[in-house]
Amino acid sequence: MITVYLTGISAYYEGEDIEIRYRIYNGEDLILKESLLKDYKKPAVVGPFALLTVLKELEKYQDDEITIIVNDPALNELIRGTSTTKNAGVLKMINMAKDRLNRFKNSIKIKDISNDKVELAKWDDILKP
């Protein structure tokens, strides 16, 4: 089973790079630890862009059961289709992410841990630089 811990960190000022951090585990074994700097994106699209970035990396694990753990309730709502946003950039990015999700043989579970203090502390510890 593949477990991915993911976060997208937006820039405070327009024009600054965003940071995408993710850790990929196979069971308890760390497979990949990445911290990427990408060109500026508006804060509203950082979560979906981070998801899209990690999905590209996960294509080589298509045969495995995959869980992506995030601390982003807005991203969770966007994926589930319960968000009421009308932001065209966000909707475009989430549609691209959904198309990429549909390419996987096995379904990918996206778990939002924002309300679980124990899981949130573990997530934070794993994603420290």
- Alpha helices, DSSP H, located in 1-129: 43-58, 73-80, 88-102, 117-126
- Centre a 10 Å sphere on the Cβ of residue 8 and count the other Cβ atoms it contains: 26
Give residue-wise pLDDT tens across range 28-62.
999 999 999 999 999 999 999 999 999 999 999 98
Mean pLDDT within 96-120: 93
Q: At how many degrees (to 10) do helices 73-80 and 88-102 cross?
A: 70
From CA 37, how far away is CA 117, in angstroms rounded? 28
Residues whose CB is less than 8 angstroms from the CB of residue 127 and which lie 6 or more positions away in sequence, other chains included: 5, 7, 21, 22, 23
Per-residue pLDDT, 12: 81
